[in-house]
Amino acid sequence: MWGRMVNNLNPIDNFYKKAQGVILSDIMVVAGSKSDEAIVRKATSVLDENNIDYELEYASAHREPDKVRELAHNSGCKVFIAIAGLSAALPGVIASHTNKPVIGVPVSAKLGGLDSLLSMVQMPKGVPVATVGIDNGQNAAYLALRILRLR
């Protein structure tokens, strides 16, 4: 069960809420693919335990760049958690389209996750991605909670 996941509204309600500018959640969790589900559950379990509203989306930075750009531009969330493996472009692409905090979670798909980790921490100046440990969805959620408490 996803607890407080808010994008499980029916599509019509979700559309009208977004059209009215209603912020649907504090955090948007975006994963590059369904194969990242185990790491997604690590992050969302912490959010559920802390009664934090979140949305969950799956979007590949390489296969669905328009969807990723739309999520970054149109989400009413306050913080993004982006979960990705391999080239791990997803957090950086989101960060390039928003001024909101982006937390990257590298996934150990290949090379023990070092490829993903290095991809996230080597972002150019002006496009920051806060990166947590490999497969550490929990720390991404805890960091997002701390960011929310600053507001």
Mean pLDDT to the nearest integer, 3-11: 51
| pLDDT at res. 110 | 86
Residue 36's contacts (CB-CB under 8 Å, 6 or more residues apart) are: 83, 84, 85, 107
Instruction: Map out the domains of the chain as residue ranges.
Output: 11-150
CB 147 within 8 A of CB 52: no
Whether the per-residue pLDDT at 41 is higher than 60: the answer is yes
Mean pLDDT to the nearest integer, 41-64: 97
Secondary structure, 3-state, the chain = CCCCECCCCCHHHHHHHHHCCCCCCCEEEEECCHHHHHHHHHHHHHHHHCCCCEEEEECCCCCCHHHHHHHHHHCCCCEEEEEEECCCCHHHHHHHCCCCCEEEEEECCCHHHHHHHHHHHCCCCCCCCEECCCCCHHHHHHHHHHHHHHC
* Domain over 11-150 is classified CATH 2.10.109.10: no
CB 75 within 8 A of CB 55: yes
Portion of the chain with pLDDT greater than 70, in percent: 83
| pLDDT at res. 3 | 41
| pLDDT at res. 1 | 32
Dihedral angle of Cα 50, 54, 60, 63, to the nearest 10 degrees: 170
| pLDDT at res. 7 | 52
Mean pLDDT to the nearest integer, 68-97: 96
Lookup: tokens for 87? 């080239």
Give the closest residue to 30 by CA, choosing from 105, 139, 113.
Answer: 105
CB 78 within 8 A of CB 103: no
